[in-house]
């Protein structure tokens, strides 16, 4: 923070002197947001202190998650008798039976907001005290929407609010639990905090940066008194930043993501919904090596969904990067929705919260992993159910469809009991127990078994993804 303040001081003084409006200065990535005309932009770009000038556009977006509303008879079902398919697929109930459910850990949502009084989310909100029935939004919520027209949540909201429903759904997947019938989350005793980084599904580079900065050192509702000790353990990033939102330089968010990782905050990032072509993972932050990029599986099986974006990432020259890093359930996922409903949605947005929730489980199982991002990643990778494929220039595992494979919560949690960090910063996971016997085959599967269905071949309406969508 001090480096950014020092390096920006002369520039901020110049802008003040000549009347250039400064909207916000960022210390997380040493950037300044200004407002002005093209002439002002040309002047700023000529300054020696300025390395890069990027637009900060808010272009109206079209959501590309896939909706299937659940009828009331399913909403009122007894979860004790019907366990969600996505929980069964990753052996989650067995982890809960071990007493591991994410207690004392915090997952953050950077999204369209959260309907915090939803019955599955209220008691999981860090700002809510169920004993006294009191609420504290300072350090637990931030709204980056400072100007808008007719937004249902208004601007600068002082309490969590969701102007779309997407954020409420993703938070539910990570931690949702109404403590009665709807146990919809992965880490069902973990807490959540939130930041709204989109205006009814469209965002800007500055709003994405502002949420990450808040998570790195949460503040009060006035944006003052930052306290990094209140930072979360993992962040759900179910969005992408296209060129139209100011990410024409693909590295514009990279230093911020790296700052999050350096602070021990796990970044679970949706890969995108522009499959099934190769090299369709193309937007920040999913393209970054530092991001743990998550693809989505089909309904009730481990194979990749047709909409899930694929690698490889095209780098400069002839270099490429393998992505995604892993896949998780992402089709027909049942979760919370404003104001107090439950719906089923599909998208890689629904896959990423599974990983964030599992991270909380790993940290409860072995506290020595807390803030150790490299070894947390390594355990998730080494315990995934590998799926070899030759598609999209892939060779064995990891590959450009599945990464290391389908995440398995039980296998990952069990491995933490044998976790040791050696002097050379490598992880030993010897004698790892196998996943539960729900499958008799070994944990490496053949991609030839997959049926990559088209939207018309499945019951959930998977409409064509819009290339203009920020939501995944």
Q: Which residues are catalytic?
A: 111, 166, 349
Run of H or E residues at 135: strand 134-135
| Gap between the Cα atoms of 41 and 46, Å rounded | 9
Report how far residue 379's alpha carbon sits from residue 428's, in angstroms, rounded to the nearest whole number.
9
CA distance 375 to 381: 10
Place of tokens 């700002």: 127
Locus of tokens 């060129």? 243
Tell me how crowded residue 437 is: count the other CB atoms within 10 A of its CB: 7
Between CA 88 and CA 192 the distance in angstroms is: 23
What are the residues whose beta carbons fall under 8 Å from the beta carbon of 362, sequence distance 6 or more?
369, 376, 379, 380, 412, 413, 416
Q: How far apart are CA 373 and CA 363, in angstroms?
A: 11
For residues 237 and 130, give the distance between their C-alpha atoms in angstroms, rounded to a whole number.
28
Distance, CA of 380 to CA of 361 (rounded, Å)? 12
Cβ–Cβ under 8 Å, residues 453 and 445: no
Taking the C-alpha atoms of residue 303 and residue 98, their distance in angstroms, rounded to an integer, is 28
Neighbours of 193 (CB within 10 A): 26
Dist. CA 437–CA 64, nearest whole Å: 36
Question: Residue 174: helix, strand or coil by DSSP?
Answer: helix
3-state secondary structure of 314: strand
Task: Return the axis-axis angle of helices 205-216 and 254-262, rounded to nearest 10°.
Answer: 10
The residues facing 386 across adjacent strands are 444
The torsion region of residue 222 among left (phi > 0), alpha (psi -120 to 50) and beta comes to alpha
Check if the beta carbon of residue 68 is closer than 8 Å to that of residue 461: yes
Contact in structure between 177 and 124 (CB atoms under 8 Å) = yes
Token pair 């909706």 in the structure block, residue: 67
Assess contact for 197 and 207: CB atoms under 8 A. yes
Report residue 172 as tokens.
């539910």
Question: d(Cα 53, Cα 20) in Å, to the nearest integer?
Answer: 15
């Amino acid at each position: 923070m001090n480096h950014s303040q020092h390096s920006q001081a002369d520039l901020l003084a110049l802008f003040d002197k000549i009347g250039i409006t400064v909207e916000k200065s960022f210390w997380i990535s040493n950037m300044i947001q200004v407002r002005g005309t093209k002439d002002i932009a040309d002047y700023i770009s000529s300054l020696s202190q300025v390395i890069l000038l990027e637009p900060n556009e808010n272009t109206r977006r079209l959501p590309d998650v896939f909706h299937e509303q659940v009828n009331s008879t399913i909403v009122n079902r007894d979860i004790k008798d019907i366990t969600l398919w996505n929980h069964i697929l990753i052996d989650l109930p067995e982890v809960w039976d071990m007493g591991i459910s994410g207690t004392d850990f915090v997952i953050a949502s950077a999204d369209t907001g959260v309907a915090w009084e939803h019955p599955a989310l209220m008691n999981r909100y860090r700002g809510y005290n169920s004993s006294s029935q009191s609420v504290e939004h300072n350090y637990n919520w931030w709204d980056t929407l400072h100007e808008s027209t007719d937004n249902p949540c208004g601007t600068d909201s002082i309490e969590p609010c969701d102007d779309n429903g997407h954020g409420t759904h993703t938070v539910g997947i990570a931690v949702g639990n109404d403590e009665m019938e709807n146990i919809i989350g992965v880490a069902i005793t973990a807490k959540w905090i939130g930041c709204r980084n989109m205006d009814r599904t469209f965002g800007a580079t500055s709003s994405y940066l502002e949420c990450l900065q808040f998570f790195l050192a949460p503040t009060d509702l006035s944006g003052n008194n930052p306290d990094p000790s209140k930072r979360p353990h993992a962040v759900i990033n179910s969005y992408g930043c296209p060129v139209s939102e100011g990410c024409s330089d693909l590295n514009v968010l990279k230093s911020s993501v790296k700052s999050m990782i350096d602070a021990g905050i796990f970044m679970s990032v949706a890969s995108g919904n522009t499959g099934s072509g190769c090299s369709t993972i193309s937007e920040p932050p999913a393209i970054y090596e530092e991001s743990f990029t998550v693809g989505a599986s089909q309904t009730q099986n481990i194979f990749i969904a047709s909409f899930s974006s694929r690698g490889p990432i095209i780098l400069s020259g002839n270099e490429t990067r393998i992505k995604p890093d892993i896949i998780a359930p992402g089709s027909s996922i049942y979760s919370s929705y404003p104001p107090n409903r439950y719906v089923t949605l599909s998208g890689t947005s629904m896959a990423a919260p599974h990983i964030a929730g599992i991270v909380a489980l790993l940290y409860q199982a072995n506290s020595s992993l807390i803030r150790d991002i490299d070894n947390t990643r390594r355990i998730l990778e080494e315990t995934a159910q590998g799926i070899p494929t030759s598609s999209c220039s892939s060779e064995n595992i990891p590959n450009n469809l599945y990464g290391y494979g389908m995440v398995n919560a039980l296998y990952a949690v069990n491995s933490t009991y044998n976790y040791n960090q050696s002097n050379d910063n490598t992880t030993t996971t010897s004698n790892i127990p196998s996943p539960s016997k729900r499958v008799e085959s070994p944990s490496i599967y053949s991609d030839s078994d997959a049926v990559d269905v088209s939207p018309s071949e499945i019951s959930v309406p998977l409409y064509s993804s819009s290339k203009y969508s920020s939501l995944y």
